[in-house]
Amino acid sequence: MDRKLMKGEEKFKTKCVHAGELVDKQYGGATSPIFMSTSYKFTDVEFNQYPRYFNTPNQIGLAKKIASLEGAEAGLIFSSGMSAISNALLSHLKSGDHVIFQNDLYGGTRNFIKKEFPKYGIEFGFTNGILVTDFENEIKANTKGIYIETPSNPTLKIVDLSSISELAKDKNIWTMIDNTFASPVNQNPIKYGIDIVLHSATKYLGGHSDICAGAVLGSKKRIKKIYNLAKNLGGSLSEMSVWLLERSIKTLFLRVQAQNENALKIAEFLDSESWISNVYYPGLNHHPNHNIAVKQMNGFGGMLSFELVPEIDSKKFLLNLNLIKPTMSLAGIESTALSPRLTSHALLTDDERVQQGINSQLIRFSTGIESFDDLKNDLLNTIRIIS
């Protein structure tokens, strides 16, 4: 598809560079100064500045920047995506509450729910599918919230944001979304009525595979609720990483646009190759949720998955790639590929993997910003070597 100009794109690009920046009053430098201090002059009992309280100058600036990209009132920056996710969930739940999770979920989130929620007496259920009726069917008298992930990891399923938020509002429950795969460039769930947006900033926000961080965005009221727990549990991000993340987000729009364009080309190329049995990418016309993706996304993202035909050994395939790196994480400017079966979703049971459509032939591909021709040649050479 030709790239459509997203609504408010020009403003978004400027926000990536300038929102939340700190002014260097001392020397007039062009970039935000970094304040490493862990101890600040006392001014107000309500506002003691301290890194674990998420309120040092750089932490506040970065939270403003990411909140502005998501169209949120407020935000908090954490030391990992899981720290953001666990603090957001635990602050909104107590013993006896019930929460509904989309079945297709990042493996670490699923593991957290299954291992930790029973200790706190929090009930949970997973949907059978991704339709709004699948969520509605799971609602109980004690249900407090719905948690979704779209596009989902690793099979890129798309959940209809407006329908989910309408259902939740009707039932008077909250909604949370893991927006990591889309990034704020491609999807802004608050616009569709979702209450809380979560990011593993380790991925697109950081974008260079060298920062581990997380973010939570939402209304001031909800962020305060999360803050009240997070200041006790800990999990804020250190100043150096905060500064580096702010620096990285300046190029977020450019990076993600390049990744979107490459991903669509790779998906279309793979779709016509005989050694591939399936391609999962919301930008393809035959993707089952393509129309919903067109409705709610500004771009289809840099992530795709594909299944190798049974004759190809997927591990051999990964280990023979040359330019594309067979590494765990995703969303960096370098292209990477992995087997969800062996890595990101290794902690799931066999049944859970089958339910999510994860088999040993599935490869998750994170598109970087390299030349499409070089990526295509790497894939074709690999097939030649191992066939």
Q: Quick check: 343 binds ligand PLP (CB under 6 A)? A: no
Residues 208-267 that bind ligand PLP (CB under 6 A): 212, 214
- The reply on whether position 200 binds ligand PLP by CB under 6 A is yes
Question: Which residue number places its CB atom closest to ligand PLP?
Answer: 81
Min separation Cβ 80 and ligand PLP, Å: 3
* DSSP assignment letter at 51: G
Count residues contacting ligand PLP (CB under 6 A)?
Answer: 13
Instruction: State which residue, 168 or 212, has the beta carbon closest to ligand PLP.
Output: 212
Does 202 bind ligand PLP (CB under 6 A)? Our answer is yes
- The answer to whether the CB of 92 falls within 8 A of the CB of 145 is yes
Torsion of CA 170, 171, 173, 179, to 10 degrees: -60
Q: Which is nearer to ligand PLP, 69 or 212 (CB)?
A: 212
Q: What is the dihedral of CA 60, 13, 305, 181, to 10 degrees?
A: 20
Separation CA 295–CA 225 (nearest Å):
32
* 235 vs 334: CA distance, rounded Å: 28
Q: Does 365 bind ligand PLP (CB under 6 A)?
A: no
Task: Indicate the residue among 105 and 190 with the shorter CB distance to ligand PLP.
Answer: 105
Rg (CA), the chain: 21
> What is the SS3 assignment for 307?
strand
Question: In whole angstroms, how close is the CB of 148 to ligand PLP at the nearest point?
Answer: 11
Rounded CA separation 255/97 (Å): 40
151 binds ligand PLP (CB under 6 A): no
Provide the minimum distance between the beta carbon of 299 and ligand PLP in the complex, in angstroms, as a whole number: 17
Site string (63-102) toward ligand PLP, x via CB under 6 A: -----------------xxx--------------------
Catalogue the long-range contacts made by 46-54 (C-beta closer than 8 Å, 24 or more residues apart). Answer: 51/236, 51/238, 51/239, 52/231, 52/234, 52/236, 53/231, 53/236, 54/227, 54/230, 54/231, 54/236
**Looking at 174-182, 221-229, 241-249, 291-299, which segment touches ligand PLP (CB under 6 A)?**
174-182
Which residues here bind ligand PLP, judged by CB under 6 A? 80-82, 106, 108, 153, 178, 180-181, 200, 202, 212, 214
